[in-house]
Chain A
């Protein structure tokens, strides 16, 4: 029998873990979880999952983004795809790269003051996050996909299929 694929959920809300966990378990995945960035890093290291799903606001405001960036910058985790799960609205575009679009949105008076921009290109399915951290700087990093809260099994399962390693 094929070995089950492993998914790590990092979220400070146990109930989100329970709900998402039961959906994923039922769909045949092996689910592990962590409640903060620190535990998340430990689980990534120990279990090397096939995919990670990260919440944004945990004990600190951008904990999920910090974890995402550590995953991107650390060669140890570079091959683990991750999704960002949040209830922030997603901006969609069909032109240019998402990073260039982030720059465009930052010039637009309607968006320039937003703390976080989540941008998805609907043509080529690339996605990225541009956020103003507490130090006042803006950061950009690419992500595989966004997942909207509350969890919806019908939407999340096909996305996972597409990206899981």
Chain B
């Protein structure tokens, strides 16, 4: 239950107290509104007084008589409009001349109640104006929220793009000033790191494209019966070179002809992310176990590693855009920090879930569950 401040501006005390009486125990509620609204009635006998009140406390709705002793209602309305107050105004008038109606609507009056009005007429008008006010405020809030999300995304993105540039520029300056030696070989480590950072930027750009395609719904999805066994074989083949370098063994448990109605490219993105993470964040001579099976009308895919694991407090952050956990063990690994958030978004498209178990220094296990569609 929340209270709206309703200001009644009328020089006739009888009208003011009448409005007070009718609205005192009145409440407005709609199925689409989260809450019911009641009204706190505030009275003003002149336009001047009304403005004083509006200046000094938050007002949501004004019921405004046009014919007032000093400044008239239209002037109060103009004032509210020029000051851009978030207030809905309803004019009360005994002679609703066309002229006044046009002028008032141009200045943003919500509607009119003719004087004299019955309690029911007043209630209906207040109900409408409340609904309108609620919707207007909700829409604005939603716009602001989405602007905020976009802004945050862009500011994190620009940070992610600047970091590798700063690193590479830093290395190049050192080389230009020949800070650590005369031979190219003295700089080999820096050159390799620069190349690694360029590779990271490239991954970021590709991941970003994937992400925007998924989020905009532009990516054409090609849903058909695909054999997950084939997909996972391909994924393993892509990751294998990195695994061999670090002497990591990838073990697969998946029967042939395991069909799922899905987009092949999306399944590749998901599996590739989990399997490549299981290799990237593993230890030398480690193992990766991939299991895919059908169970209770679902496909369950799990990727388990014997790697560095993830601390409890970091686990909650992982699926957010750009989050990467930085510590001694991960410092040389490059990535965009988008992989898991992309995987999560895709899994969401299938109404699936991702579960995670992880223990620092022991390893991690990610389990993806996708419902089989009919």
- Interface residue ranges, A against B (CB under 8 Å): 12-16, 18-20, 22-23, 26, 35-36, 39, 57-61, 87, 115, 149-153
Contact of B323 among A20, A39, A59 (CB under 8 A): A59
CB-CB < 8 A to A150: which residues of B?
A: 165-167, 169-170, 173
Residue numbers in A under 8 Å from B328 (CB-CB):
35, 39
* Chain B, interface residues (CB within 8 Å), range: 20 to 34
19 contacts between A and B (CB under 8 A): A12-B326, A15-B171, A16-B166, A18-B171, A18-B190, A19-B174, A22-B180, A35-B326, A35-B327, A36-B327, A39-B327, A59-B314, A59-B324, A59-B325, A149-B162, A150-B166, A150-B167, A150-B169, A151-B166
Tell which of A59, A60, A115, A151 touches B170, judged by Cβ atoms closer than 8 Å.
A151
Q: Quick check: is B34 within 8 A (CB to CB) of the other chain?
A: no
Further contacts, 13 of them, CB under 8 A, given A16-B167, A59-B324, A149-B166: A12-B324, A15-B197, A18-B193, A26-B180, A35-B327, A57-B156, A59-B317, A87-B162, A115-B155, A150-B166, A150-B173, A151-B166, A153-B179
- State A39–B331 Cα separation when bound (angstroms): 13
Instruction: List chain B residues, Cβ under 8 A from A87.
Output: 162, 166
Smallest CB-CB separation from A26: which chain B residue?
B179
Given A15-B193, A19-B167, A20-B170, CB of A153 within 8 Å of CB of B327: no
Partner of A13, one of B155, B167, B173, B177: B167
Q: B172's closest neighbor in chain A, by CB? A: A150
* CB-CB contacts below 8 Å: B269-312 with A: none
A116 nearest CB neighbor, chain B only? B155
Is the C-beta of B225 less than 8 angstroms from some C-beta in chain A? no
Contact B167 A153 (CB under 8 A): no
Q: Are B179 and A22 in contact (CB under 8 A)?
A: yes
Closest Cβ of chain A: how far from B308's Cβ, in Å?
Answer: 14
Q: Do residues A58 and B174 form an inter-chain contact, with CB atoms below 8 A? A: no
Question: Which one of B162, B177, B317, B326 has the highest number of Cβ atoms from chain A below 10 Å of its Cβ?
Answer: B326
Given A14-B331, A59-B324, is A153 in contact with B166 using a C-beta cutoff of 8 Å? no
Residues of A within 8 A of B174 (CB): 19, 22-23
Provide the B146-168 mask, 1 if CB < 8 A to any CB of A, else 0: 00000000011001001101111
Give the chain B neighbours of A58 by CB distance below 8 A: 326
Asked if A23 and B326 make an inter-chain contact with CB atoms under 8 angstroms apart, the answer reads no
Min Cβ gap B181→A in Å is: 11
Residues of A within 8 A of B317 (CB): 59-60
Min CB distance A8 to B, Å, is 15
Complex CA–CA separation, A58 to B163 (angstroms)? 11
A26 to B174, CA, bound (A): 11
Across the interface, which residues of A come within 8 angstroms of B156, CB to CB? 57, 61
B159 touches A15 (CB 8 A): no
